[in-house]
A = this chain, B = another copy of it.
């Protein structure tokens, strides 16, 4: 059975794993032994590397057929005979490092048509500037004066608007559209996401609502990843900015003029209104709503489904609607549960 749609890895030796992860080898296992792939404890075969990071899984360890296992020293007595034990302080981190090494094609989506260069069925405007080593899949549309940096992949039926600049080594997923935007290097924007379209602002009046021009841009800094079907509106007059290294999940809405810091985590279906500021490393759980002009401080965390209507100080954990500091909000729930 073929488990993965990715390429069969080339394999890695135990010695290479030791060098990569700083693991200490228990006993005299051969450094040139080849590991074919990685897998979880229960799925691993004798040619696979696995890992253990919780005593809850000790039973699974005992039954595992894995050829090698990354684990803390304290568990190694429980490893089945014949399993190579690699002692390491953070087994999951080490395991992920090996996974990334074995599956480089999983680090960002590549052409869905297995091509290099520009597909015949793509529409690239003659004034667009396409650097070397760019892949453009069938059906993609690249507008006038757009720029695509070296090593980038534009997915099938994606649409890049006029004057948009995409940096180097980016992947734009199939059917995504990007307009009025400047995109940095190493950015992944997944399928169906809509970046840079009109913010939602009208002047109310007795005979209806008048559209307010949305003249700004979206700036996406380096190494940002944006999930599928997410929407980020361009600024009204200034810009909407997504800071370096920030990761955004699927179906998220980010309104005009937001400033999202660096290395933030924004989980699926969050709705961020206009002119919101997120400090670096802020984390929003799924389905969080944030009212306009709110500031969420550096490293602050907001629990899933919360509604934030006032500023959240740096480093605090908030939840509920209206969101408040953690402990305070949970009291009413605790009270009502005791009463039964």
Contact = CB atoms under 8 A, between A and B. Distances in A.
A125 B179 CA distance: 28
What secondary structure prevails in chain A residues at the interface with B? loop
A295 interface: no
Contact of A109 (B40, B198, B332): B198
Contacts of A268: 200, 231, 253, 255, 271, 273
Given A99-B213, A157-B157, A209-B247, A322 B333 contact: yes
A162 B5 contact: yes
Interface string A63-99: 0000000000000000000000000000011001001
Interface string A97-113: 00110010011010011
Given A5-B217, A216-B3, A250-B200, A113 B92 contact: no
A210 B156 CA distance: 26
A105 to B, nearest CB: 9
A203 B247 CA distance: 11
Interface of A: 3-6, 38-40, 43, 92-93, 96, 99-100, 103, 106-107, 109, 112-114, 119, 121, 123, 125, 137-139, 141, 143-144, 155-157, 159, 161-163, 173-175, 177, 179-180, 188, 190-192, 194, 197-198, 200, 202-203, 208-217, 223, 225, 227-229, 231, 233, 237-238, 244-245, 247, 249-251, 253, 255, 262-263, 265, 267-269, 271, 273, 286-287, 289, 291, 304-305, 307, 321-322, 324, 328, 331-333, 336-337, 339-340
A304 B286 contact: no
A229 to B, nearest CB: 5
Given A4-B217, A247-B202, A305 B307 contact: yes
Contacts of A144: 113-114
B156 A238 contact: no
Contacts of A202: 247, 265
A245 B99 contact: no
A177 B140 CA distance: 14
Contact of A304 (B93, B200, B291): B291
Given A157-B157, A251-B271, A328-B340, 12 more contacts: A38-B237, A39-B237, A103-B215, A106-B213, A159-B174, A175-B175, A194-B229, A209-B247, A229-B229, A253-B269, A269-B271, A328-B336
Contacts of A4: 215-217
A247 B157 contact: no
B250 A253 contact: yes
Given A157-B139, A159-B155, A333-B322, A106 B289 contact: no
Contacts of A138: 123, 141
A202 B233 CA distance: 25
22 contacts: A4-B217, A40-B238, A96-B210, A99-B212, A99-B213, A112-B161, A113-B141, A113-B143, A139-B141, A156-B177, A200-B250, A208-B223, A209-B265, A229-B231, A249-B253, A251-B271, A253-B269, A268-B271, A289-B304, A289-B305, A324-B337, A332-B332
A11 to B, nearest CB: 15
Contacts of A291: 304
A284 to B, nearest CB: 12
